[in-house]
Structure 1
Amino acid sequence: MHPIVVVMGVSGSGKTTVGQALADRLGVPFAEADEFHPPANIAKMSAGIALDDADRGPWLTAIAAWITEQAGRRGGVITCSALKRRYRDRLKAAAPGVHFLHLAGSQELIAARIGARKGHFMPPSLLDSQFAALEPLAPDEPGTVIDVTQTPEQIATTIAADLA
């Protein structure tokens, strides 16, 4: 079975940086979930409007398709906020062996990171809605919760060893 890791968490938690480092460590393809959003979703978020479940449906379908495709090849790492359990259940159903890596941190730390970020469509004003929607990874879900105060390399090293 080929590992599929979904790096999850609120915007600004470091999903892209950690995901790329982990994919490099594992020698598997990497995908950024933001690239799966249709233009209407990007426009909505850029305008400071939170997405609803209807907006997320096609996005989650596209991510699930990528997971299914990669599971049949050599595995992969993909980022996805996956804020709600039902979203994770949908992604988990795409292939056996999906592992969630929940990057967890305080709202204050994440807000500071978002404030320092340049050129991203996700405005800091939507962070409150992300924390409000977040259903943390439950003990019965396949995955790991890790503190984002560690460096991306430390996180990638820890998770790669756990998956080995």
Structure 2
Amino acid sequence: MNKLFIIMGVSGCGKTTIGKQLAKKINLPFLDADDFHSEENIQKMTNGIALNDTDRMPWLDTLNNELKTYTEKYGVVLACSALKESYRKKLSEGISQIQWIYLKSDSKLIQQRMQQRTDHFMNVQLMQSQFDTLEEPTYGLHISNASSPNEIMIQILQKMGHI
């Protein structure tokens, strides 16, 4: 059966790192939702302007179409903030089975990580807007991101019954 995994959480929580490791471990392709942002959205975030729902809808539509394509073939691991329930519903529209993995974060740890990043367009000033927007899911796996990536992977694989 095809399988779809979405690693979600605020910017800087480790979605890409964990998503790449999970994809490699379970032999699925990896997608980073950040790669699908429009130039306008990237420019806004670079300039410290938080995206609104209107900015995000075309991006979420594109991601949903990508997920459907991969799900029909073999499955995929997607790293995507998916901060609101409405965004998660949009992402999962027309898709029957998704394993959500929420990387739960502490704002102090995220601030520390974001200040160390030099290769990402997300402005550290937007960190609080991520936490303000976040609606924690009541489903899926909830994993603290305070551990090392290796320990997080072990927790995910244990909870999914892979080890």
Fold conserved between structures, TM > 0.5: yes
Residues 57 and 163 (structure 1), Cα distance of their counterparts in 2 relative to 1, 3 Å cut: farther
Residues 150 and 41 (structure 1), Cα distance of their counterparts in 2 relative to 1, 3 Å cut: same
Corresponding residue SS for 1:10:
coil
Tell me the alpha carbon deviations over residues 62-102 of structure 1, each in whole angstroms, 9 at most, x when there is no partner: 11111111111111101110000011111122411111111
1:154 aligned partner: 151
Distance (Å, rounded) in 1 between the aligned partners of 2:22 and 2:92 = 19
Tell me the alpha carbon deviations over residues 8-66 of structure 1, each in whole angstroms, 9 at most, x when there is no partner: 00000001000000000110000010111011000111110000001000110111111
Distance (Å, rounded) in 1 between the aligned partners of 2:100 and 2:94 = 13
2:143/2:155 contact within 8 Å kept: no
| TM, length-normalised to structure 2 | 0.94
Distance (Å, rounded) in 2 between the aligned partners of 1:137 and 1:118 = 30
1:144 aligned partner: 141
Aligned residue runs from structure 1 range 54-133, under 5 A: 54-133=54-133
Corresponding residue SS for 1:72:
helix
Distance (Å, rounded) in 2 between the aligned partners of 1:2 and 1:152 = 25
Distance (Å, rounded) in 1 between the aligned partners of 2:18 and 2:123 = 21
2:10/2:105 contact within 8 Å kept: no
Distance (Å, rounded) in 2 between the aligned partners of 1:4 and 1:82 = 15
| TM, length-normalised to structure 1 | 0.93
1:25/1:160 contact within 8 Å kept: no
2:7/2:78 contact within 8 Å kept: yes
Aligned residues: percent identity? 39
Distance (Å, rounded) in 1 between the aligned partners of 2:161 and 2:25 = 11
Tell me the alpha carbon deviations over residues 105-151 of structure 1, each in whole angstroms, 9 at most, x when there is no partner: 1100110010111121101100010000000011xx3x111000122
CA RMSD of aligned residues (A): 1.2
Q: Flag structure 2 segments of 5+ consecutive residues without an equivalent.
A: none
Q: Which amino acid in structure 1 is aligned with residue 157 of structure 2?
A: A
2:27 aligned partner: 27
